[in-house]
């Protein structure tokens, strides 16, 4: 069965609906919404009315479509999410962790993991991935260090790993999952940026096929879906029960899932699984590879290529900070990157990255390097070099506690009461409950004068 076919048949019944959503499939659309979104989107927006399925307890069309996706992805179960990876990450933590359970988290996690910590009451044990100062990015985690942490903390129940990183750096999930199993630790992989891998395994190997228990993927980041569509998969050999996962998802997600998003997920997965879709993906990856080969010939330009997903193009130019390069691309060439740091710039590509877009970027980079364009940019020129966090209170115990604002310069050793995140990439610098160190003050002083601390 298919949601798309079902809707087509349903429309032929010409039912008169006195149900939500109240726009009546587009009978009312605010004029500007009509102009900018269009009637089609509204006309396919339904609620769980008679004959439809229910995303929080799927038994009909959604269930059969999720089962179909599960076959394509080779999972034990696959769930469609219309609240992004954010909801999947929180629900995965909720499914596996009880109050007081220890959870290992790589510090380059997305801030949704913090939400999971608040809601589950779990106790974080942080692991700092290796930090590459030349590129200003986190890379993989040391497997020996990982094993050492599990040896010392025998009561860790789960590990939340971000793979790939925002910049596309991939970890050896096969070996990580073997270590996790040895210590009876469940492995949750935030694969928000790796959704393409299932359709082009030369780009990256899906964590699902490398022994992860739960994998969460955003479909809008690289795979060309509408914001915020995502999938949550349970690994084939995992002991995580799909029923239990569904219950956890139901605690987090909306009871009114977006049908346009579900339609898009169906259409996308079916297309990418078809011969045409496979060719499209193949062609796109070929174009990015060709683009990378070309820009690698530019003098003074370097492309990051250490075990990364090629669709995430991380570059740096001699004598320019990443922030300066980013500013030049923006102001001189009208090109906007995904993010910049003090060393490098990330250009995110995906299924919507056409050859002509790549050509424009290629030309700009050749021109920029040949003409030695420079600008002076000192705002944001500092980068936070991650330090080992010191947790005084766990997030679930601290987030409601009274706080006050103090001058940042007098906040050394106080307990931070804010979630301080640079966005993108959304990696936490300080979490509520963590002790403020001198490195935090040095970094934040160019951005703010005050900080909230525990009373
Ligand atoms: C690594 C990572 N995980 C999770 C998320 C959240 O994804 P979503 O936007 O689908 O909720 C993001 C978003 O930026 C991310 O970068």
- Please determine, for residue 283, whether its predicted confidence score (pLDDT) is greater than 90: yes
Ligand 1 probe mutation, 221, 249, 346, 422, most atoms within 8 A of CB: 221
- Please determine, for residue 231, whether its predicted confidence score (pLDDT) is greater than 80: yes
For residue 147, how far is its CA from the centre of ligand 1 (angstroms)?
A: 27
- Block residue for tokens 């006195």: 18
CATH top-level class for 56-272?
alpha beta
Ligand 1 probe mutation, 93, 108, 110, 339, most atoms within 8 A of CB: 110
Q: How far apart are CA 358 and CA 371, in angstroms?
A: 20
Asked if residues 212 and 189 have their Cβ atoms less than 8 Å apart, the reply is: yes
The per-residue pLDDT of the chain, averaged, comes to 94
Asked if residues 296 and 288 have their Cβ atoms less than 8 Å apart, the reply is: no
Q: What is the pLDDT of residue 386?
A: 84
Listing DSSP states for 161-186 in one string gives EESS-TT-BPP-HHHHHHHHHHTT-E
305-329: buried (b, 16+ CB within 10 Å) or exposed (e) per residue? eeebbbbbbbbbbeebbbbbbbbbb
For residue range 435-455, what is the model confidence (pLDDT) as tens digits?
Answer: 999 999 999 998 999 999 999
- Please determine, for residue 416, whether its predicted confidence score (pLDDT) is greater than 70: yes
Closest CA to 216 of 107, 99, 73: 73
For residue 161, how far is its CA from the centre of ligand 1 (angstroms)?
A: 13
How confident is the model over 367-378, as a mean pLDDT? 80
CA dihedral 436→439→440→445, nearest 10 degrees, is 130
Match domain 395-454 to its CATH number in 3.10.580.10, 3.90.100.10, 3.40.50.920, 3.30.70.260. Answer: 3.90.100.10
Residue nearest to atom 1 of ligand 1 (CA): 110
- Please determine, for residue 375, whether its predicted confidence score (pLDDT) is greater than 80: no
Q: Which atom of ligand 1 is closest in space to residue 230's alpha carbon?
A: 10
Torsions phi, psi of 454, nearest 5?
A: -65, 135
Residue 379: pLDDT band with limits 50, 70, 90: low
* Structure-model confidence comparison of residues 372 and 335, the more confident one: 335
How confident is the model over 27-42, as a mean pLDDT? 96
For residue 444, how far is its CA from the centre of ligand 1 (angstroms)?
A: 24
Residue nearest to atom 7 of ligand 1 (CA): 85
- Block residue for tokens 């997600």: 253
Closest CA to 120 of 426, 399, 391, 416: 399
**The pair of three-digit structure tokens given for residue 107, joined into one six-digit string:** 């510090």
Domain with CATH 3.40.640.10 in the chain: 56-272
Could you say which DSSP state residue 207 is in? G
Ligand 1 probe mutation, 261, 426, 427, 428, most atoms within 8 A of CB: 426
Torsions phi, psi of 28, nearest 5?
A: -125, 125
For residue range 59-82, what is the model confidence (pLDDT) as tens digits?
Answer: 999 999 999 999 999 999 999 999
**Ligand 1 pocket, CB under 6 A:** 84-86, 110, 112, 162, 166, 190, 192-193, 218, 228, 230, 425-426
User: How large is the angle between the packed helices 275-295 and 259-272, nearest 10 degrees?
Assistant: 80
Residue 377: pLDDT band with limits 50, 70, 90: low
For residue range 297-321, what is the model confidence (pLDDT) as tens digits?
Answer: 999 999 999 989 999 999 999 999 9
Residue 52: pLDDT band with limits 50, 70, 90: confident
Give Cβ neighbours of residue 147 (< 8 Å, ≥ 6 apart).
179, 183
For residue 270, how far is its CA from the centre of ligand 1 (angstroms)?
A: 23
Region of 2 on the Ramachandran plot (φ > 0 left; ψ -120 to 50 alpha; else beta): beta
For residue 166, how far is its CA from the centre of ligand 1 (angstroms)?
A: 9
For residue 415, give the 3-state DSSP assignment.
strand
Output the CA torsion sign for 8, 9, 12, 14: negative
Give Cβ neighbours of residue 265 (< 8 Å, ≥ 6 apart).
80, 219, 225, 229, 231
Give Cβ neighbours of residue 407 (< 8 Å, ≥ 6 apart).
449, 450
Q: Which atom of ligand 1 is closest in space to residue 229's alpha carbon?
A: 10
Q: What is the pLDDT of residue 380?
A: 53
Region of 353 on the Ramachandran plot (φ > 0 left; ψ -120 to 50 alpha; else beta): beta
For residue 48, how far is its CA from the centre of ligand 1 (angstroms)?
A: 27
Domain with CATH 3.90.100.10 in the chain: 395-454
- Please determine, for residue 383, whether its predicted confidence score (pLDDT) is greater than 80: no
- Please determine, for residue 58, whether its predicted confidence score (pLDDT) is greater than 70: yes
For residue 90, how far is its CA from the centre of ligand 1 (angstroms)?
A: 11
For residue 116, how far is its CA from the centre of ligand 1 (angstroms)?
A: 13
Q: How far apart are CA 55 and CA 123, in angstroms?
A: 31
How confident is the model over 9-34, as a mean pLDDT? 95
CATH fold for domain 275-370: 3.90.1150
For residue 85, how far is its CA from the centre of ligand 1 (angstroms)?
A: 6
Q: What is the pLDDT of residue 448?
A: 94
Q: How far apart are CA 249 and CA 77, in angstroms?
A: 13
Whether pTM > 0.85 for this model: the answer is yes
Ligand 1 probe mutation, 218, 227, 231, 423, most atoms within 8 A of CB: 218
Domain with CATH 3.90.1150.150 in the chain: 275-370
Could you say which DSSP state residue 198 is in? G
Neighbour-count burial of 189, counting CB atoms closer than 10 A to its CB (0-12 exposed, 13-18 middle, 19+ buried)? buried
For residue range 396-413, what is the model confidence (pLDDT) as tens digits?
Answer: 999 889 999 999 999 999
Listing DSSP states for 272-290 in one string gives HTSHHHHHHHHHHHHHHHH
The edge-to-edge listing of strands for the beta sheet with 230-234 is: 77-81, 230-234, 214-218, 186-190, 156-162, 102-106, 123-127
């Amino acid at each position: 069965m298919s949601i798309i076919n079902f809707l087509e048949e349903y429309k032929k019944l010409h039912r008169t609906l006195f149900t939500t959503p109240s726009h009546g499939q587009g009978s009312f659309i605010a004029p500007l919404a009509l102009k900018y979104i269009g009637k089609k989107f509204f006309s396919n927006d339904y609620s769980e009315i008679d004959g439809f399925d229910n995303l929080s307890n799927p038994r009909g069309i959604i269930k059969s479509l999720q089962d179909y996706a599960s076959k394509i992805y080779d999972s034990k179960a696959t769930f469609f999410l219309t609240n992004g990876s954010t909801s999947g990450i929180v629900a995965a933590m909720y499914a596996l962790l009880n109050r007081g359970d220890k959870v290992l988290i790589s510090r380059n996690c997305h801030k949704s993991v913090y939400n999971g910590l608040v809601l589950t009451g779990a106790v974080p044990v942080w692991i700092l991935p290796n930090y590459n100062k030349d590129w200003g990015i986190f890379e993989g985690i040391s497997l020996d260090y990982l094993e050492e942490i599990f040896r010392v903390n025998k009561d860790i129940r789960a590990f939340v790993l971000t793979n790939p990183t925002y910049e596309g750096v991939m970890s050896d999930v096969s070996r990580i999952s073997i270590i996790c199993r040895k210590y009876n630790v469940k492995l949750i992989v935030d694969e928000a940026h790796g959704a393409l891998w299932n359709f082009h395994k030369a780009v990256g190997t899906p964590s699902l096929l490398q022994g992860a228990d739960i994998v969460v993927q955003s479909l809008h980041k690289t795979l060309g879906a509408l914001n915020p569509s995502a999938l949550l998969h349970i690994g084939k050999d995992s002991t995580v029960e799909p029923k239990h996962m569904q219950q956890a998802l139901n605690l987090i997600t909306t009871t009114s899932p977006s049908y346009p998003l579900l339609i898009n997920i169906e259409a996308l997965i079916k297309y990418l699984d078809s011969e045409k879709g496979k060719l499209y993906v193949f062609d796109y990856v070929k174009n990015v590879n060709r683009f990378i080969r070309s820009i690698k010939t530019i003098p003074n330009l370097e492309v990051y290529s250490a075990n990364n997903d090629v669709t995430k193009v991380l570059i740096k130019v001699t004598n320019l900070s990443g922030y300066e390069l980013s500013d030049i691309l923006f102001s001189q060439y009208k090109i906007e990157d995904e993010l910049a740091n003090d060393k490098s710039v990330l250009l995110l590509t995906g299924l919507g990255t056409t050859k002509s877009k790549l050509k424009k970027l290629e030309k700009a980079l050749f021109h920029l390097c040949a003409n030695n364009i420079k600008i002076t940019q000192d705002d944001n020129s500092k980068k936070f070099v991650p330090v080992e966090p010191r947790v005084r209170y766990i997030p679930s115990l601290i987030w409601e506690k009274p706080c006050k604002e103090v001058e940042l310069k007098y906040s050394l050793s106080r307990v931070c009461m804010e979630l301080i995140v640079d966005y993108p990439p959304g990696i936490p610098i300080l979490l509520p409950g963590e002790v403020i160190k001198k490195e935090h003050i040095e970094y934040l002083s160019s951005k703010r004068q005050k900080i909230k601390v525990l009373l």
